[in-house]
Structure 1
Amino acid sequence: MTSSTSRQNLIIIAAVVIALLLGVNVFLLINKAKQDAKNKELTEQVDEQDEEIQTLNKQILDEQAKLESLKGENDELNALIDEQKLALEEQKGRIAQLVRSNGGYEKAKSEIKRLTAQNAEFIAEINRLKTENVDLKDQTLRLSSRADSLTASLRVKSEEVDNLSLAKAAIASEKESLAAENANLSEKVNIASVIKVQNLVATGYKTKGSGKPTKKERANNVDHLKICFDATSNQVASPGNEVFYVRIINPVGETIAIEELGSGTLTRSDNGEQVRYTKATEMEYSREDANLCTNWTPNVPFQAGKYNVEVYNKGYLAGTGKFELK
């Protein structure tokens, strides 16, 4: 009787163990199937995003090809074209980030549309400058021809030496003026679209427990700064997204910069100098006067003393301001 009962108990235990093992196997198989399906979905999503990125990048390459076709013998215009091509190249990473984000493909397409429109304006401007350069070359050739003619006349008409000398001097002056105008043309194109900044004001604040910020003048009471300025009207600049780089300089002359909070380095377009900046802020610019504010919360104490603030746009210093914390 005892032996039979033990055998039955063993059979029951074995059945339970087998059932548990079967349950575990079923659970593992179901989980594996779910994981495989999830991995397949993620792979398909990544492949789709890669195709979208390639499609959008091709549009950027097409725009760069249009720019390359504009190159000629004018080194200054070629340099402008290379800068525009580089600017488009730098947008590839941003486009890829937009596509990778949720719902970012439509935003990326809108950004490509904006870049294409901006590039079309740039191409139109380059074509206009090329036409002007052709006109200047024609004028120079005509002036050179005229100078040669006058020089020949001087050889045979000694009685007109004085008058012809004056004419030749006038021609030389005109040629110098045309050369100077041509040299300044490229520089004007670069800086004409810079958006100047006015009425730059920086104010110290402390956020209370209620979450409401209160103006403060003493450094030990300030936990963040609010920097506001007016972006002035510029009809040459293209409407759309504009980036302003804010540089806050502390009382000992150091740039306040924390990479984790968005600080970085820019290259000045006028002299190539590397400049540290505190924060970059963006706005949708419509060629009209607009006010822009941004906050800087470094989570470290502020020093007492006088601070300087610089704002850069397109690599140029667009405006400055000062403030003091007691």
Structure 2
Amino acid sequence: MTIGALLGITALLAYLFMDSRNEALEIQKMLTAKVEQFASTRSKLDSISKVLDQKIVEVRRLGGSVNELQQIKRQLENDKRKLRSDLSFSVQQYNLKIRDYQSFLVRNEVDLRKLRDENGLLRNQTRSLEEEKLSVLSENEGLKTERAALARTLADYSLQNAELQNKVTLASAMKAVGVQVIAISEGGKERRGGSYRASRIDRLKISFIMPSNPVAVKNDKDIYLRILDANGAVVGESGVGGVMSFEGREIGYSIRQTVPFENNDQEVTIFFRKESTYKPGAYTVEIYAEGFQIGDGRFEVK
């Protein structure tokens, strides 16, 4: 009996040891996966930071405005600082931020490509005009009439180039950066993070920064918001939304608000209430002004 009891105790201890060992292995796997996610997120943020630095250097070299790029860079550095001390690290939350930064880089590359093309066009035209000018100056006094015509042509080119460059600058003057979509419950409590339960959404608070620009005009701007559900349908409310013109076609919008533009990096906040409950899924918020899409944001409903 004594031997049997000892064998039973030994078997029980062996079982408990194996169970504890398996649990420790599972915890180790979870910690390893968390560390890998953290390292990957940090690497992606560092990579985006390097791209922003390169863009800032190039835009300065081309004579463009770096205000928006510097604003995004400051926001990115703030996210990197938070990541170092984020005890409740969520890879999903940071993946949303990384996707927003990557979307901004894609949009900014379009503006940068235009600036490169404009600078190349101006250099080529200036070089061509200088060559023509030198050729005319080498002629005798009998070519004064031709030199006068060339001077007028040079003035016309300069005016056309200035107008073209001004149009490109104005097209990029209005921007909405740092777009945040915040859920407000019926009790007025705000929830952030980009992922919300449908039952806790009474209103949406959409806030963003409108960076200053030396060529922008201080006046009232009509800001249009398009809230799109997972199927791409416009989320609207009777008597609030409507239809606007964009790139030669009519598109629906969720809400319009007139904002006095002060050209001082001002923060803009727009509230939207929908009477019916939001369906689960990923939503997109598009922001328009003066015929251009100036920014976008995202949030998820659970």
- For the aligned pair, the TM-score class normalised by the smaller chain equals 0.3 to 0.5
TM-score normalised according to structure 2 size: 0.45
Q: Looking at secondary structure, tell me which structure has more helix per residue.
A: 1
TM-score normalised according to structure 1 size: 0.43
